[in-house]
Amino acid sequence: MASDIEIRTRPPIEEFFKDLTLTLKGKTKHILRCVLGKLSPGHVSAVLGPSGAGKTIFLSVLIGKAVGCTVTRVILINGKPELVQSYMKIICFLPQDDIVHKNLIVQKNP
Ligand SMILES: Nc1ncnc2c1ncn2[C@@H]1O[C@H](COP(=O)(O)OP(=O)(O)OP(=O)(O)O)[C@@H](O)[C@H]1O
Ligand SMILES: [Mg+2]
């Protein structure tokens, strides 16, 4: 669980992406092509699509953890061209088959 100090020092992050194109290694077909969008702090964003559409791999690109694919994109963090990998400790997503521990509680930020 995050301590009070960790919560206070966590910066709000806006991630803007454009021209995001993803091709599986060894294949020529694009899974994603020229995707444009923005994830803003304090907002809920939804990624919708049928099974196999590329939702999970798209989220993996946005957190800098996509494997087995070639990605081209422009990503701006808070308006600056930074590596999303620099924020790996504070950006993540829960996989659909994640284990939810019964003793975990929701903690409200101060
Ligand atoms: N590491 C990988 N190597 C090869 N192919 C992959 C890899 N990751 C995903 N794929 C393929 O890329 C496509 C998109 O997969 P992805 O898991 O992102 O879909 P999804 O929208 O999350 O599907 P679901 O709703 O079933 O979770 C699928 O055809 C999948 O087989
Ligand atoms: Mg998925």
Pocket flag, ligand 1, residue 31 (CB < 6 Å): yes
CA-nearest of 88, 7, 22 to 55 is: 22
Whether residue 46 lies inside any domain: the answer is: yes
5 found inside a domain: no
Report the 3 state secondary structure along 29-96: CEEEEEEEEEECCCCCCCCCCCCCCCHHHHHHHHCCCCCCEEEEEEEEECCECCCHHHHCCCCCCCCC
Question: Does any domain span residue 104?
Answer: no
Within a domain: residue 1?
A: no
Supply 5's token pair.
Answer: 């100090």
pLDDT at 38 over 90: yes
Residue 55: φ, ψ to 5°: -65, -50
The stretch 43-69 carries a mean pLDDT of: 92
* Tally of structural domains, the chain: 1
Taking only the tens place, the pLDDT of each residue in 2-27 is 555 555 667 889 999 999 999 988 88
Q: What's the pLDDT band for 55 if we cut at 50, 70, 90?
A: very high
For residue 28, tell me if it sits in a domain: yes
Report pLDDT for 2. 55
Instruction: For residue 92, tell me if it sits in a domain.
Output: no
Residue 102 within any structural domain of the chain: no
If one residue of 22, 24, 29, 58 were mutated to test the ligand 1 pocket, choosing by the most ligand atoms within 8 A of its CB, it would be 24
Do residues 14 and 38 touch, judged by C-beta distance below 8 A?
yes
Residue 27 domain flag: yes
Residues forming a β-bridge with 75: 17
Range of the domain at 55: 13-87
